[in-house]
Amino acid sequence: MQNNDGKLKVGLAQLAPVWLDKKGTLEKIVQVIHEAGKKGIELLVFGEGLVPGYPLWTGLTDATIFDSPMQKELHAHYAANAVVIEKGDLNEVCSVLKDYGMGAYLGVIERPLDRGGHSLYASLVFIDKHGIVQSVHRKLRPTYDERLTWSPGDGHGLQVHSMKEFTVGGLNCWENWMPLVRSSLYAQGENLHVAVWPGSDHNTRDITRFIARESRSYVVSVSSLMRKEDFPETTPHLSRILEKAPQMLTNGGSCVAGPDGEWILEPQVGQEELFSVEVDFNRVLEERQNFDPSGHYSRPDVTRLIVNRERQSVVRFEESGEEGLKKNF
């Protein structure tokens, strides 16, 4: 007989951002947290880089032109609306999550002070049910034109977290295709994998089921939505961006697969909505009977993985004496 600790209610927030507007997008996220709280959701997941949105202009406006005044202006606008966690940008989100005793994975564009405070990273933030930021995973390798505006991250955020009986971990977009990165989470006992995307179902449809079959874990893929009408009128160079923009830039595709790789929630396309599913930990134990990638179906005497989880920095200050003790408390 199982108790309710073996079941977890997961919410998938498939939203369009208030594009390149940090304040407006965070307000929208808080509203969704309230909605999720009323539905009894325990883990709420948002898409990649939702705050303040995906850099869609790079693929629509010849962003590779070096020293372009337009590209500089768009990038500066993006950076000005990026999330600085150290300055409290996520404080209200954390507070509302705490009120509901809800954990969350939130995709943000981060402008971290520990890397100088100017460069941008696609980061996946885990906030626990007490409203505390427990990990910030900076995307290891931006993809294609993302590299024109995002910086490569590090392994510090390759961490897992306990939620009731579950061990939860997460990756950004095409990181989910990186075998060794996935393996680093499996080895930490992950059995509920969060994959966040900017959209669409062509990204989520195959790999969600593949990771579930490979890991014998639940896989929750959450994407954002972006339509032509979702671009605010205040966006710099809006007319130039819209010239080549299709009506639907990202169509969502949020979905959930079970530990056997079968759909619990098939990819959801075209609408903003808060979806929810209940996952049962006992299903993980059932599927691990025949395959466990870091347990009985591994050979650490033959192959092993080394992961560097040190937070990268260009400087380390070393000071001695009383002054050093004060600064390195």
Catalytic residue among 28, 110, 139, 214: 139
Active site residue 262: no
Number of helices and strands in the chain (H, E) = 8, 13
Long-range pairs of 241-248 with CB within 8 A, sequence gap ≥ 24: 241/56, 241/57, 241/60, 241/61, 243/60, 244/60, 244/61, 245/56, 245/60
> 3-state SS of 45-60?
EECCCCECCCCHHHHC
Task: In whole angstroms, give the CA distance from residue 279 to residue 118.
Answer: 40
Active site residue 48: yes
Catalytic residue among 146, 173, 175, 190: 173
- Closest to 134 in 3D by CA, of 80, 178, 87, 98: 98
Catalytic residue among 48, 190, 214, 287: 48
Looking at residue 247, the DSSP 8-state letter turns out to be S
Active site residue 87: no
Residue 151 Cα distances to 92, 112, 121, 148, angstroms: 26, 11, 5, 8
Burial of 123 (0-12, 13-18, 19+ CB in 10 A): buried
**Residues known to be catalytic:** 48, 139, 173
